[in-house]
A = this chain, B = another copy of it.
Amino acid sequence: MARTTRRSRCPIATSLDIFGDRWSLLIVRDLMFKGRASFGEFIAAGEDIATNILADRLVRLEDAGIIRRGSHPVDGRKTVYGLTPKGLDLAPVMVELTLWAARHERIDTAAAELNAMKKRRAKYLSDTRKTARRA
Which positions in A face B, CB cutoff 8 Å? 7-18, 20-22, 25-26, 29, 46-48, 65, 86, 89-90, 92-109
Contact = CB atoms under 8 A, between A and B. Distances in A.
A8 B96 CA distance: 18
A97 B26 contact: no
Number of copies: 2
Contacts of A105: 11, 14-15, 18
A29 B47 CA distance: 27
A10 B26 CA distance: 10
B9 A25 contact: no
Contacts of A48: 7
B86 A14 contact: no
